[in-house]
Amino acid sequence: MNHTFDSTVLREYDIRGIIGETLGAEDARAIGRGFATLLRRAGGHKVAVGYDGRVSSPMLESALIEGLTGSGCDVVRIGMGATPMLYFAEASADDVDGGIQITGSHNPANYNGFKMVFMGRPFFGEDILTIGRLAEAGDWLDGTGTVETRDVMDAYIDRMLQGLDGIDSDTLSALRIGWDAGNGAAGPALEQLAGRLPGEHHLLYTDVDGNFPNHHPDPTVPANLEDLQRLVAEKNLDFGVAFDGDGDRIGAIDGEGRVIWGDQLLMIYAEDLLSRRPGATVIADVKASRALFEHVAAHGGQPVMWKTGHSLIKSKMKETQAPLAGEMSGHVFFADEYYGYDDALYAAVRLMAASARLGKSVTQLRGEMPALVNTPEMRFQVDESRKFAAIDEVKTRLAGTDAQVDGTDGVRVTTADGWWLLRASNTQDVLVARAESDSQGGLDRLVAQIDEQLQLSGLERGEQAGH
């Protein structure tokens, strides 16, 4: 028996597709067979399985477990919850060797997919392609695994609350916070967490609904934060926190309703961390603001710019022993007093902790940041066969100039006006551009440089591509 996946489904960081079109029960079964085969060959035998609130998730969970047990792995079902709860189940249990979360993350409601962790490390890139090759060849081990159900919610909440250990309780009790779960999978954990946190908490949309009736659960899109901004304004709250569909990305606003972007959150976390761990390494992706890297250095830390992608960042953290990392997209990774994975609920707890320890409100911390002008993330369609080639052409052209170029992930060019970035997405047929300057005039000149390089490669920004 063998199986062939749709060509669009096996992606760089996860497996994702459209239910009933490119992804179904047979795919989930094949993923289970392949993952179990690889895990057993590596000496493991037990897999934790969780799923998000999408309508198709229970169907995929059932088929995935059939595949895992059919290739001889035992399964620990942790039920519906946020992706970081699955990561917690894998990281905290001595008897679990791998984990799979069924989730479509922030994709539209008709999508779903799988995020995986393997023997304590991210499972991505070549690992995912190997699942495809095993399926194609039918090269699966046979066996009969067992299935047990384990409730990890209470232990997960207990563990997150440790992020507030040692902090003055009066300071924490004075906090008033708004929360928006966006009808995503983090809702039930948020309800329990908020019930046990000090302070006053106002919650939106904690009912899990895979149709996302109130707004799409992607906190990097400003329109999705409008309900939270209204709540914070009406109740005069200190700040607000929002989550994506599976709870591994955080969005935030301050008491004045200003968005605190992923790199700005990292500035706050870094300042708190470096006050306790001088000289620590802090990693951010190539889309992050110059202000972040300068802020880390100014507080005695070692800033590292790295490739975009949660699996790539996690791997770099392990390599450099960095206690903190983050991305513009709202993935924040704490290895400082935590496990090193991206957990938006825990990141929210650490925002409370940072504000209390630094003795400044979140609004004050946001207000102290440099007033830079930047573009949103600009994404535009480019043929798959051209996207990496175009970046190479830009690199070649710039090599003959005095431009200051960082080629970590695409091309990041620093000029007197600021910086601009052009990189190829690993997961879609798009190029991503971003620019940042001290002034609007400077920003216009940077964007003109991006346009010039695209034109020289026979491309144009044209239509913006969606996520």
pLDDT of 388-399, one tens digit each? 999 999 999 998
pLDDT at res. 254 = 98
**Residue pLDDT, tens place only, 169-206:** 999 999 999 999 999 999 999 999 999 999 999 999 99
Taking residue 376's Cβ as centre, other Cβ atoms within 10 Å add up to 12
Question: In terms of CATH architecture, what is 15-151?
Answer: 3-Layer(aba) Sandwich (3.40)
For residue 223, CA distances in Å to 214, 464, 466 come to: 11, 17, 14
Residues of the chain with CATH 3.40.120.10: 15-151, 156-367
Question: In terms of CATH architecture, what is 373-456?
Answer: 2-Layer Sandwich (3.30)
3-state secondary structure of 356: helix
Residues of the chain with CATH 3.30.310.50: 373-456
Q: Which of 58, 266, 245, 35 is nearest to 134 (CA)?
A: 35
Task: Give the angle subtended at the CA of 383 by the CAs of 379 and 386, to the nearest 5°.
Answer: 100
Please tell me the distance from the alpha carbon of residue 103 to that of residue 83, in angstroms, as a whole number.
Answer: 8
Contact 189, 343 (CB under 8 A): no
Q: How far apart are the first and last CA of the chain?
A: 35
CATH T-level topology, domain 156-367: Alpha-D-Glucose-1,6-Bisphosphate; Chain A, domain 3 (3.40.120)
Six token digits for residue 366: 């946001």
Of residues 56, 57, 71, 105, which has the active-site annotation? Answer: 105
> What number of CA atoms fall less than 13 Å from residue 170's CA on the CB side?
1
**Residue pLDDT, tens place only, 251-299:** 999 999 999 999 999 999 999 999 999 999 999 999 999 999 999 999 9
Residue labelled with tokens 């001889």: 72
> Average pLDDT in the 51-70 region?
96
pLDDT at res. 462 = 63
pLDDT at res. 466 = 43
Q: Which of 218, 248, 216 is nearest to 115 (CA)?
A: 248
Q: Compute the mean pLDDT over every residue in the chain, rounded to the nearest whole number.
A: 95
Task: Please give the share of the chain, as a percent, with pLDDT higher than 90.
Answer: 88
DSSP string for 34-97: HHHHHHHHTT--EEEEEE-S-TTHHHHHHHHHHHHHHTT-EEEEEEE--HHHHHHHHHH-TT--
Of the two residues 358 and 107, the one the predictor is more confident about is: 358
Bridge partner residues of 48 (DSSP):
76, 99
pTM of the model: 0.94
Task: Give the angle subtended at the CA of 387 by the CAs of 385 and 389, to the nearest 5°.
Answer: 80
**Residue pLDDT, tens place only, 72-94:** 999 999 999 999 999 999 999 99
105 is catalytic: yes
